[in-house]
Amino acid sequence: MKIKTGKINLSQKDLLFCKRVNRLNIVILVITALYFFFSWGDIPDRVPMHYNFAGEVDRYGNKKELIILPLLSVVMYGSMTLVEYLPPAYWNIPVKVTEQNKDLVYSETKKLLVTEKLAIVILFSYIAIAASTNYAIGSWALLITISLVFAPIIIYYIRIKKKHN
């Protein structure tokens, strides 16, 4: 069964996936906000604000600067949600969209958007909370960060190219 969402026909499975990931995004944003609300008094005044490639702190700042990451996360979530609901003609898609492949291409692209939103929300929330506790992120964080952001894009590109041919 297909469900009409604007000009995109999503299968029930894909629609459920998008809804669940979007709900998870909201839950993470709320948990992050609640964490800062309830622990603000326990956060030291001086916290790590930037890490080098080795995962070592190379800049400290005032704890008020920690608010930037959760706020940026909300702004990016909101912006990407707006893009998600724009007509697909505005999306940058790596294959030619035809009448035969449009449902598949648009469905995969929508799933990419919601997955990338999740990656960004998780990443920004993790960094903000780690900094608030003076947790040493470590050098492995760069690899995880790159993987978290770029893996969905690579998987999407492979899937779209494979299914397009």
What is the domain partition of the chain in residue ranges? 2-164
DSSP state of 41: G
Mean pLDDT of 88-116: 86
pTM of this prediction? 0.84
Residue type, 55: G
The mean of the pLDDT values for the chain is 86
Rounded Cα distance, 120 and 11, in Å? 25
In this predicted model, what pLDDT tens digit does every residue of 46-85 receive, in sequence order? 998 888 877 778 889 999 999 998 999 999 999 999 998 8
Q: What local confidence, expressed as pLDDT, does residue 94 receive?
A: 82
Rounded Cα distance, 101 and 18, in Å? 20
Q: What local confidence, expressed as pLDDT, does residue 40 receive?
A: 95
Rounded Cα distance, 98 and 83, in Å? 21
Question: Are 11 and 104 a contacting pair, CB within 8 Å?
Answer: no
Q: What local confidence, expressed as pLDDT, does residue 7 receive?
A: 62
